[in-house]
Amino acid sequence: MAKEDKIIRVALVGNPNTGRTTLLNKMSGSNYGTGNYARVTVAIQSQKISHLGWQIEIVDLPGIYSLSSRTDEELLGRNFLHHQQPDIIINVLDMGNLERNLTLTSQLIEMGIPRIFVFNMADEARKKGIEINSEDFERILGAPVIATNARNGEGVKALLDAIVHCAAAGCQGEAVRINYDAHLEEAINRTTAQVIKLHRQEMNRDQARWLSIKLLEGDETVLREEREHDALIQAVREERETLQSQHGESADQLLDSGRHAFVFGLLEGAHRLDIDVALNRVDVTRVLDAFLLHRWLGMPIFLAIMWLMFETTFVLGAYPMDWIDAGVGLFSDLLNSLISDSMFKDLLINGVVAGVGGTIIFLPNILILFFFIALFNDTGYMSRGAILVDRVMHTFGLHGKAFIPMVTGFGCNVPAIMATRTIENSKDRLVAILVNPFISCSARLPVFILFTGAFFGEHAGSALFAVYMASILIALFTALFLSKVVVRGANSSPFIMELAPYRMPTYVSVTSHMWSSGSEFLKKVGGIIVVGSIIIWFLQTFPQEVELSRDYEAEIAALASSAGSESQDEAITTLKNHQLLEIQQKRYLGQIGTVIQPIFATMGFDLNASIALLTGLVAKEAVVATFGVLYAYGEESDAENSGLRYAISQSMGMVTAIAFMMFTLIYMPCIATIGVLYRETGSAKWTGFSIVMSLTLAYSLAATIAIVGGAIVG
């Protein structure tokens, strides 16, 4: 193969949590989501890079433990390898965990595709006292073995060199074969001969042998694919029966023992059988888990960490928030002095700046929240959380693994709903998808920060934590209802969760999580929020001339002309307020608000709050932006008030505020979430169900809070 000829197609294959995605990122210099829990890669991703003048396309296959067809990931991975036949398989193994990782290797070897072995996470393995001699492994595996540290890039260049070398000159030594039991081997050969007859055109010998092994293994997917070849299926069945009766063990057990013996022989040949000793040493992970997974301490620590996350989000976020707020204020003043009075100036200051400025100040809070989520992901604490809460989640009909999408949902529901793909059972997954929109995403965070700040003073951080707890409780109870009453299907899948060792999160990974969430937020602010603010401004400014029921100007003038006393001043102010109110009601926005406000009256929401909720249907960030525009209009400049927060605290009581927060939390998934709901459930019915369910629940809960709360407060 020469450089110009073609692209070298390479597939990364390995167990979950062996660092394939990190390796791909290091090879290509890009950044995909990685996380320190099993199964981050759920779809096939590929990257094109060039090295030494060669084009290399690297495909990252989902993490798999074997090449059976039991899970979607395994099927996806093996179909890709079998049908697409990449030029080179890069088998990524966790060097500290070779024995188990090699089980997959033994199956990959059978596919016959040229291979390069990557022993990744060499630093962790060395810390555990594991040293390997790559030459020993190269000899036995008959292919290049490269030790890497994907996290700091060690060995990545050597790997790229090996890929190019392998493509140019070939890299396979002697063909490595797994020696199966003699009878089994004969059966495989007989079946292979038959397969070759049937598929001469489309399969080489290795592919045929692999297919035969899968057939003899009783793999349902290949049996189904080959079902039109009655003779083959019949022959395979007879082979299986014969093996069973001769050995008292089924063909799949014989295959398993063959592979196991191969792995054992391999490790013995490379003098690596002392692994057990090394792994029982006390390490940091075990020490940490002794506390974090402690029977009694685990849960309180977990809750404390969650509380700390929200407290920090509020308290630490408040400082940069003030700076941005002051900056926006200065900018607004600057515009005010630079531009002469006009409609355009009003649009700029009271529309765009008020809306964008009101929203953008929450950027620090969002960054802090994503910092924590990235931290949980990368350190490996997320899977501990899943274990701690599984008992509770299970009671409510949710799978413990649904915890990970739930925490991701604090950031954004869209990736969170996609993350439910790691849940295998379809019923478990549907429930996890349907409750995810109730998990308060970062778009709702500005609303809660504004309201908790306005009504709860120094306890705002704890109030914020309470809102999130409420969001979790709502999700849990909805899950209970859904799994018991609404969603039908086979019961919960088993809970088998691997605990990766704790890892120090890398600076790059954490900052890139924060950067992507921050830029996503800014894009929204620059796009939909600007447009939304202009529309709101337009609707509340036009029509300019409205017909009033009374001649306020004349009445005010009449009052003002007579001698001034205190009662007269008061009368003038009242008149002015009435005039302003009537003008606002007769503008377009007022007209819309007057129509929809009765719907919200039960919950005590005023005109402005109703309009804010309406705009929030598009994107939840718009709720705060709308308040920003609405209160910028006619706002008295007063050094004492702290802007929007003050205006909000004057506009409603605490009970109404709580009802408003609950309504905002629940009332409807945003447009992007509705889109992903539809894509992931593949059903308009469930998507519609989600919308109707949220609206109904939001209305009844907020109305209950308003009525009961109102009665208590009096």
Chain residues that interact with other proteins, rule: CB under 8 A: 65-66, 68, 70, 96-97, 99-100, 103, 128, 256, 260, 275-276, 278-280, 286, 289, 293-296, 298-299, 387-388, 390-391, 394, 400, 494-499
Is 315 in contact with 458 (CB distance < 8 Å)? no
Q: What separation in angstroms does the CA of 87 have from each of 90, 471, 626, 634? A: 10, 49, 56, 69
**CA R_g for the chain:** 32
CA 559 to chain centre: 63
Helix (H, G, I), strand (E, B) or coil at 119: strand
**Between residues 31 and 68, which has the closer beta carbon with respect to other proteins?**
68
**Between residues 100 and 550, which has the closer beta carbon with respect to other proteins?**
100
Helix (H, G, I), strand (E, B) or coil at 652: coil
* Secondary structure, 3-state, 74-87: HHHHHHHHHHHCCC
CA–CA gap between residue 358 and residue 381 (Å, rounded): 34
> φ, ψ for residue 93 (rounded to 5)?
-120, 145
**Between residues 92 and 387, which has the closer beta carbon with respect to other proteins?**
387
Minimum distance, C-beta of residue 93 to other proteins, in the bound complex (Å): 13
**Between residues 226 and 390, which has the closer beta carbon with respect to other proteins?**
390
**Between residues 99 and 206, which has the closer beta carbon with respect to other proteins?**
99
**Between residues 106 and 408, which has the closer beta carbon with respect to other proteins?**
106
Q: What separation in angstroms does the CA of 503 have from each of 142, 301, 307, 689? A: 32, 19, 23, 41
Beta bridge partners of 11: 59, 89
Minimum distance, C-beta of residue 472 to other proteins, in the bound complex (Å): 17
Closest CA to 190 of 227, 219, 232, 133: 232
Q: What separation in angstroms does the CA of 88 have from each of 56, 57, 64, 361? A: 10, 10, 18, 50
Count the neighbouring beta carbons within 10 Å of the beta carbon of residue 21. 22
Is 437 in contact with 673 (CB distance < 8 Å)? yes
**Between residues 205 and 286, which has the closer beta carbon with respect to other proteins?**
286
Is 44 in contact with 61 (CB distance < 8 Å)? yes
Minimum distance, C-beta of residue 251 to other proteins, in the bound complex (Å): 14
CA–CA gap between residue 293 and residue 650 (Å, rounded): 46
Residue 11: which H helix or E strand, with range?
strand 8-14
Amino acid found at 225: E
Structure tokens at 577: 């307020």
**Between residues 111 and 447, which has the closer beta carbon with respect to other proteins?**
111
At CA 90, angle to CA 84 and CA 94, rounded to 5? 135
**Between residues 203 and 270, which has the closer beta carbon with respect to other proteins?**
270
CA–CA gap between residue 452 and residue 634 (Å, rounded): 24
Amino acid found at 368: I
**Between residues 106 and 656, which has the closer beta carbon with respect to other proteins?**
106
Structure tokens at 121: 């996470």
CA–CA gap between residue 414 and residue 337 (Å, rounded): 43
CA–CA gap between residue 90 and residue 116 (Å, rounded): 5
Minimum distance, C-beta of residue 246 to other proteins, in the bound complex (Å): 21
**Between residues 125 and 655, which has the closer beta carbon with respect to other proteins?**
125
CA–CA gap between residue 473 and residue 438 (Å, rounded): 9
Per DSSP, the residues of 511-525 read: HHHHHHHHHHHHHHI
Minimum distance, C-beta of residue 393 to other proteins, in the bound complex (Å): 10
Dihedral angle computed from the Cα positions of residues 223, 226, 230 and 233, in that order, rounded to the nearest 10 degrees: -40
**Between residues 66 and 192, which has the closer beta carbon with respect to other proteins?**
66
Q: How many residues does the chain have?
A: 714
Amino acid found at 405: P
Minimum distance, C-beta of residue 20 to other proteins, in the bound complex (Å): 17
Minimum distance, C-beta of residue 484 to other proteins, in the bound complex (Å): 19
**Between residues 102 and 487, which has the closer beta carbon with respect to other proteins?**
102
**Between residues 36 and 66, which has the closer beta carbon with respect to other proteins?**
66
